[in-house]
Amino acid sequence: MLDEVKRAISRLRECEKPVFINKSQVGKNIGKLGLIEKHLDKLPQTREYLNKNLETREAFQLRRVEWACQKLMMANEDIMEWKIVRLAGLKYLTEEFKQTIENYALLQQESLNVRK
């Protein structure tokens, strides 16, 4: 079971568009959602691995921001905050996360300008 979970998390991380990696998504991916939801206490190694590798909402949002920036760079578009938010599909941003996006956009835009 642990190997299946490891492979599932790896596959989910490799998806072109980011997918939120949580117990439900991993369980669906391996076809054992019920087992993960109801009997994880009987699978200590799997539980420990999941606890270390599942994403928080914030980590997922940041991964989507990184993905959106990469997508914009590949399309040779300007990396602007509103484009990142729109492409990443973000809603309900905290001020702290807005600042993170602004900083990330500036860094990506600067690295893009250096390449030109």
Per-domain boundaries in the chain: 2-53, 57-115
Q: Which long-range contacts (CB under 8 A, 24 or more apart) does 43-50 make?
A: 43/1, 43/2, 45/2, 46/1, 46/2, 46/5, 49/2, 49/5, 49/6, 50/5, 50/23, 50/26
pTM exceeds cut of 0.85: no
pLDDT confidence band for 22 (50 / 70 / 90): very high
What residues contact 55, with CB distance under 8 A and at least 6 apart?
20, 21, 22, 63
Q: How confident is the model at residue 101, as a pLDDT?
A: 82
Mean pLDDT of the chain: 88
